[in-house]
Amino acid sequence: MNKRILLEDLGHKDYKETWDYQEELFQSILDLKIKNRREGSQLETPNHFLFVEHPHVYTLGKSGDMDNLLVDENVLTEKGAKFYKINRGGDITYHGPGQIVGYPILDLDNFFTDIHKYLRFLEEMVILTLADYGLNAERSEGETGVWLDVGTPFARKICAMGVRASRWVTMHGFALNVNADLGYFDLMIPCGIKGKAVTSLNVELGKKVVDMAEVKQRLLKHFEVLFEAHLISAKTQV
């Protein structure tokens, strides 16, 4: 089992361009798995982890409800935002500047073949990272993602998740609000869950800006431990 994961930080990148790149990596792993099965070979399948920060964009999962987007596309254009229907699970989600988006494209045959466990590990990675900042984040029963003050009138979501998997290969992932402009969440019903607020790490910490690079490093530290993986930066790969 190959537990090495190639890490790429794409910086600021258009959603559709990143989605196409994800699909390319995802399909290459699938093709290799199919080849192994057909030919009885055991070629090693690669794993990838992409970090990215998108321009303003709204994405609707394949089971999502368009009614959860509260404005028409003309308003989105005025706000400088794009909209895409995509092939992950979940409902509507916003991505934008100040948000850390992570796309693990893994062959879970290299780790464990359990999508429920995979999602819980992604949540745990975020929960442990937020604990590093003194926040008591947790799961909300029946609602994928990471929340604060669950079970109270002040419950608010800080990290959304949605994945796609085929033959145990994953794509899409998580979006953690770090320095996000929360006004953009007012244009939708986040994840289709009514009556729940959204927050950002800088708001919770009472800071104007939180160091994004530091948050990424903390996320990766917990990811490596949880998945018993070894992350290799694309810049240093040989």
Residues with catalytic roles: 191
Tell me if 94 is assigned to a ligand binding site: yes
Q: Would you call 237 helix, strand, or coil by DSSP?
A: coil
Tell me if 236 is assigned to a ligand binding site: no
Tell me if 145 is assigned to a ligand binding site: no
CA neighbor of 147 nearest in space, from 131, 136, 163: 136
The DSSP-derived string for 107-138 is BGGGT-S-HHHHHHHHHHHHHHHHHHTT--EE
Tell me if 90 is assigned to a ligand binding site: yes
Amino acid in the structure at residue 231: L
Tell me if 133 is assigned to a ligand binding site: no
| CB of 46 closer than 8 Å to CB of 87 | no
Tell me if 175 is assigned to a ligand binding site: yes
Tokens of 56: 């303003």
In the chain, the N- to C-terminal Cα span, in Å, equals 20
| CB of 108 closer than 8 Å to CB of 228 | no
Tell me if 162 is assigned to a ligand binding site: yes
| CB of 160 closer than 8 Å to CB of 190 | yes
The DSSP-derived string for 167-178 is TTEEEEEEEEES
Tell me if 183 is assigned to a ligand binding site: no
Tell me if 173 is assigned to a ligand binding site: yes
Annotated binding site: 88-95, 160-162, 173-175
Annotated binding site for substrate: 88-95, 160-162, 173-175
